[in-house]
Amino acid sequence: MNFVDSRESFTKVSNLNSQELLQMYQAGQSEAATAIFDRYVARLIALARSRIGSKLGRRVDAEDIVQSAYRSFFVHASGDEYQLKETGDLWRLLASIALHKLYGQIEKHTAAKRSVHHEDPTDLATAAARTPEPSAGEVVAIIEELHTVIRDLPPEERMVLMASLQGQENPEISKSVNRSERTVRRLLANARRKIEQRLLPGVTTDVQSSTSVVEYEAPLLYSDYVLEQLLGSGGMGKVFRARVKGTKQKAAIKSLHKSRQSDRRAVAQFVKEAQLLTRLHHANIVRVEGLGRFPGGGYFMVMDYVEGIDLQSQLDVQPFSIKAALGILKNVTDAISYAHDKGIIHCDLKPGNILQDKNGNVLVTDFGFAFLIANGATVENSIGGTAGFIAPEILSHQSLPTPATDIYSLGVLLWTLITGRLPEKPFIHRSREMELKPVFRVVKRCLSDDPRKRYQTITELQQELMAIQ
């Protein structure tokens, strides 16, 4: 598609009313979904936030509510379950779905079934109608304000923003302004943040001010992605499968839980993980593109989407054969050796942090506890790991992480993959497990309480593993 076609397509979809957009989406035209999302997402987030008070603000995430509402809407809309009679019906429908999701969450977090404003949660249509479609006068005022904001942007930001609004993709903009794509993303992010601060002050300031006084570079744009499915949720955050808008390309988006977004140490650790991983480019490490920010100010990390399963899920079914486990360890140790060469200790190697895609490729992920040797320091209190896999000197706070820290975890990992259980203490060989004797010998050295008695490098460990094969 050339520049003129792209601009005409962009303008055409943007000018459609809500009834036409829904019909386009139901006809299978994906650009309509993007237009529906972009047209209402900020207002829906603002609506949800207006119904959440300070007591629930840290437990109920308006952005999560809106994402969930959109997922429900698109699932039902694709089945032709919705029919619109009037132009404003799409807004009222989306608002009703979002409020239904919101009140469901509020009911989980409060004994009394009420919202912050004491509204009846069953009266969704009335609540939605309280935030009506903007009048013609309001639209004109918003457009005039938008023109003013764009005019006041620095020349470079204004140039890339206008090119983006006209339908140009980032690579094309990069060539036209003679800047890297990373710089283009940063300029677009800066421009968007300034526009949001002028037009949607209530949407952008709350979380941003409570997260941290430190501002980290986060050039990736939330508007470039569509969240499609929650893949998993842990103690620190959540991972979503997403799609890059305008393409079929998939990505994984990781974010902190709402309760963690106001924890400066958690945010610093999350940002550090993204910054470390953007420096790592290895076939057996999940690639991280970088950081972005949600409309509310929280950070997210964009990673390659791996269509597969983690090793813990496979272990829950049955252990691996010795041959298969050694093959996995070869790939994992290649990745960790590369990370060590870059001055990075993983610190949390376990089956749940190792993925195997549908082609059998093994990839290491989750460097959330990674330690950077290069500057001899790490984020305060962020050294950690998983019980059973963490080296004793780290558990007892006797030492900072070293390559021997990961070697201990690799020994536990190998034994767990083959037997389905953690090594016992004391770690002794049982005569009925004669086929495990060579593996036992390697694992036992890895598990030495004294880090100096373990293999000192990944290369040394790999040589021992090759001898077993």
Q: For residue 13, give both structure tokens.
A: 């979809």
Predicted pLDDT of residue 381? 38
**Which residues contact residue 39 at a Cβ distance below 8 angstroms, ignoring those fewer than 6 apart?**
18, 21
pLDDT of residue 140: 47
Residue spans per domain, the chain? 3-211, 220-304, 308-468
Confidence of residue 81 (pLDDT cuts 50, 70, 90): low
pLDDT (average), residues 348-368: 93
Q: How far apart are CA 307 and CA 288, in angstroms?
A: 15
Residue 243 has what pLDDT?
95
Residue corresponding to tokens 């293999």: 455
Q: What is the 3-state secondary structure (H, E, C) of 4-72?
A: HHHHHHHHHHHCCCHHHHHHHHHCCCHHHHHHHHHHHHHHHHHHHHHCCCCCCCCCCCHHHHHHHHHHH
The alpha carbon of 204 is separated from its chain's Cα centroid by a whole number of angstroms, namely: 19
Please compute the mean of the pLDDT values over residues 84-93 and round it to a whole number.
72
DSSP secondary structure letters along 311-328: HHHHHTT-PPPHHHHHHH
Q: Mean pLDDT throughout 299-312?
A: 94
Q: Tell me, what DSSP letter sits at residue 347?
A: -
Under CATH, domain 220-304 is a member of which superfamily? Phosphorylase Kinase; domain 1 (3.30.200.20)
Are 267 and 256 in contact by the 8 Å Cβ rule? The answer is yes
- Tell me: pLDDT of 85 over 60: yes
Helix (H) or strand (E) holding 300: strand 299-304
Task: Work out whether strand 237-244 and strand 225-233 pair parallel, antiparallel, or are unpaired.
Answer: antiparallel
Task: Select the highest-mean-pLDDT range: 7-21, 77-91, 117-131, 345-359.
Answer: 345-359
Mean pLDDT, range 245-264, rounded to an integer: 88
Which of 79-93, 428-442, 452-466 bottoms out in mean pLDDT, i.e. has the lowest? 79-93
* Termini Cα distance of the chain: 53
Tell whether 55 is in a known binding site. Answer: no
Please give the model's pTM, rounded to 2 decimal places: 0.55
pLDDT value for 125: 42
Q: Which of 385-389, 391-395, 463-467 has the lowest mean pLDDT?
A: 385-389
Specify whether the CB–CB gap between 306 and 364 falls below 8 A: no
Answer yes or no: is pLDDT of 1 > 80. Answer: no
Distance CA 425, CA 227 (A): 45
Mean pLDDT, rounded, of the chain: 79
pLDDT at position 357 is: 94
Pair 231, 240: CB distance under 8 Å: yes
For the stretch 276-285, pLDDT in tens is: 889 899 999 9
Please determine, for residue 214, whether its predicted confidence score (pLDDT) is greater than 80: no
pLDDT of residue 113: 40
What is the C-alpha separation between 57 and 417, in angstroms, rounded? 42
**Residues 371, 393: Cα–Cα separation, whole Å:** 15
Q: What is the pLDDT of residue 379?
A: 39
Residues 238-263: what's their mean pLDDT? 90
Of 144-148, 168-172, 277-281, 395-399, highest mean pLDDT: 277-281
424: pLDDT strictly greater than 80:
yes
pLDDT at position 22, please? 80
Question: Are 286 and 355 spatial neighbours (Cβ–Cβ below 8 Å)?
Answer: yes
Of 47-56, 159-168, 228-237, 439-448, give the lowest mean pLDDT range. 47-56
Lowest mean pLDDT among 194-208, 248-262, 313-327: 194-208
Element (H, E) at 233: strand 225-233
The mean pLDDT of 45-71, rounded to a whole number, is: 75
pLDDT for 95 beyond 90: no
Mean pLDDT lowest for which of 59-68, 217-226, 240-249, 435-444?
59-68
DSSP 3-state helix, strand, coil percentages of the chain (rounded to 5)? Answer: 55, 10, 35
Is 90 exceeded by the pLDDT of residue 155?
A: no
Interval 219-235 mean pLDDT = 88
Which CATH number is correct for 308-468, 1.10.287.130, 3.90.850.10, 1.10.510.10, 3.40.50.720?
Answer: 1.10.510.10
Residue 202 has pLDDT above 60, yes or no: no
Q: Which amino acid, one-letter code, is at 466?
A: M
Cβ atoms of residues 302 and 290 within 8 Å? yes
Residue 110: predicted pLDDT: 55
CA distance 124 to 137: 27
Nearest to 413, CA basis, from 345, 348, 339: 348
What would the pLDDT profile of 8-25 be if each residue is shown by its tens digit? 554 566 667 777 788 887
Please indicate whether residue 132 or residue 286 has the higher confidence score (pLDDT). 286
Please give the pLDDT value at position 10: 44
pLDDT at 374 over 90: no
State residue 415's pLDDT score.
97
Beta carbons of 288 and 302 less than 8 angstroms apart: yes
